[in-house]
Amino acid sequence: MKTPPRLLPLLEDGLIDEVVCQLRAGKEAQIYIVMVNGVKRCAKVFKDAQQRSFKQAVQYQEGRTGRNSRRNRAMSKKTRFGQQEQEQAWLNAEVDALRQLKAAGVRVPEPLSFVDGVLLMELITDAEGVTAPRLGDDTYTEAQALDYHQRIIREVVRMLVAGLVHGDLSPFNVLIDAQGPVIIDLPQAVNAAGNNNAEAMLLRDVANMREFFGVFAPSILNTDYGSEIWALFEAGDLHEDTILTGEFAHDETLADLAQLFAVMDDAEQEEEERKTRLEQ
């Protein structure tokens, strides 16, 4: 096939030997199968910021920082340099997440190199050596659904223990290789402790898996692993081997409005007293 312009420099520099074919096109990147030293690899070519259709980038970028304080200040001020740094932080996010999660034992593709917006990584294949299918492209028996659901929940736990939340986990961001589910597409992964949206994202990730597998195994629809996992994480009790039940009792206690208003009145009075002291 004709070599895409973004892959030409890698071909000329000998980082890849051949572009075999395009695998798929997504909202953030185009995926190609390439040859590297005689081995099939995956090349993820990220689209420019103005071409990406990922509309909620801001909430995913919260908590991400540049390489030094000067860059962090520029990113916060939205200068041209800051926007460039923010874009670079977005592009670096996936390779950083892959390296961090691979080291933590999470089933993700192994990153090989990242050059000029192109991520070279392991190509995930099935038992026959064919490109692995996406989870959402197949149907499953009840036993398979229960098994795969539990495996993915365990990967979500490993990710959170490593400090990350996927943020966009769906049946189309999971591949099925010879050993089972592999998590992919991580440019929007967020720091669990540094992003105020992390809890909501984790709950949504887990709910997406629950709704998908619940079609094949209805008992899964009665679980609440997301709330259980996050509660354990907040309490510092979540570990890779934590035994989960899928059950969670939500606090349905009504708020004491009288006490809340009293606290607000006290705070207002303290502020007035502070202003009075400053004027004096």
Per-residue three-class SS string for 19-78: EEEEEEECCCEEEEEEEECCEEEEEEEECCHHHCCCCCHHHHHCCCCCCCHHHHHHHHHC
Tell me if 262 is assigned to some domain.
no
Residue with tokens 């609440």: 224
Torsion of CA 67, 70, 50, 41, to 10 degrees: -10
Tell me if 257 is assigned to some domain.
no
Tell me if 278 is assigned to some domain.
no
Tokens encoding 87: 């874009």
pLDDT band at 79 (very low <50, low <70, confident <90, very high): low
Cβ–Cβ < 8 Å for 31, 22 = yes
CB-based contacts of 9: which residues, under 8 Å, 6+ apart?
A: 115, 116
- Average pLDDT along the chain: 86
Tell me if 274 is assigned to some domain.
no
pLDDT value at 207 more than 80: yes
CA distances from 154 to 77, 161, 243, 267 (A): 39, 11, 10, 44
Tell me if 240 is assigned to some domain.
no
Phi, psi of 40 (to 5 degrees): -70, 130
CATH of the domain at 177: 1.10.510.10
pLDDT value at 17 more than 60: yes
pLDDT value at 180 more than 60: yes
pLDDT band at 268 (very low <50, low <70, confident <90, very high): confident
Q: Name the domain count of the chain.
A: 1
Q: Residue 217 sits in which domain range?
A: 5-234
According to DSSP, the residues that pair with 34 across neighbouring strands are: 19, 41
Tell me if 254 is assigned to some domain.
no
For the chain, percent of residues with pLDDT exceeding 70: 80
**CA gap 206, 203 in Å, rounded:** 5
Tell me if 273 is assigned to some domain.
no
Tell me if 115 is assigned to some domain.
yes
pTM of the model: 0.79
Residues 44-59 pLDDT 10s: 998 876 555 544 455 5
CA distances from 206 to 146, 161, 229, 246 (A): 14, 15, 10, 11
* Helical pair 69-77 and 80-103, crossing angle rounded to 10 deg: 120
